[in-house]
Amino acid sequence: MNDQHLRLGVNIDHVATVRNARGGETPDPVRAALLAEEAGADGITAHLREDRRHISDRDIDALMERLSVPLNFEMAATEEMQAIALRHTPHAVCIVPEKREERTTEGGLEVAREENLLAHFIAPLRDAGCRVSIFIAADVAQIEAAHRIGAEVIELHTGAYCDAHAEGRYDERDAELTRLGEMSTFAHELGLEVHAGHGLTYDTVAPVAAFPEVRELNIGHFLIGEAIFRGLSPAIAEMRRLMDDARAQ
């Protein structure tokens, strides 16, 4: 595949959120993943939380069995999640911070403070053949720590940039975007593969997609919400178009 191709990972967590709000079997996040695959997603992201508030163990089993594109398995750095990842050995494992009281992942992982613990945690995952990604803020210290512990990939948290745009704080938005660009370059120069995600929409995706060092964007909540109005496949197709147009500039 062209080195300039920007991959799109579609996060299906919130299909499961809707299912779990009522119980039962529908809507099925695995069906959503297969539709996303048909619509041009390069991978599927699913976060198995400790409290199982959306994605379930059964969902992960079915995704591993049925997907043709890679699964990016988001998880906290716990023994339980490590054991599940080692049992399935998905293409990629993304280590994220997790708090029971948060509605969504609110920030990047504190790698610099937990460097020794995380280095030992990810070693068996790497040995099993999983690509290990670390979800972090666009910060020099966190990027350097992720590199030192042996992560192959970082995913930069774009939430502050997206929130500033949504709230009309445009100077702050522009500063956040500048930081994301600079840290993408810095991480790439260290030899890390750079991904980005969290809160991206049609209005905010293009500037991030234009960074040449970024190889993958992971987008979920917005696409699932937009699917209510236009359908999942058209929603993904429009995001794909915007990413490709930005990359071609």
CB of 71 closer than 8 Å to CB of 92: yes
Residues taking part in catalysis? 47, 74, 198
Q: How many CA atoms lie within 13 A of 174 on its CB side?
A: 2
> Which of 105, 85, 222, 81 lies closest to 165, judged by CA?
222
Measured torsion, CA atoms of residues 16, 41, 39, 203, in degrees rounded to the nearest 10: 80
Return phi, psi of residue 76, to 5°.
-80, 160
Amino acid at 131: R
Helix (H, G, I), strand (E, B) or coil at 139: coil
Could you tell me what percentage of the chain is helix, strand and coil, using 3-state DSSP and rounding each to the nearest 5? 50, 15, 35
Burial class of residue 122 (count of CB atoms within 10 Å of its CB; 0-12, 13-18, 19+): buried
Looking at residue 94, the DSSP 8-state letter turns out to be E
User: Residue 129 and residue 88: Cα distance in Å, rounded?
Assistant: 11
CB of 15 closer than 8 Å to CB of 32: yes
- Tell me the C-alpha to C-alpha distance, in Å, between residue 231 and each of 10, 35, 157, 226: 14, 10, 27, 7
Helix (H) or strand (E) holding 47: strand 43-47
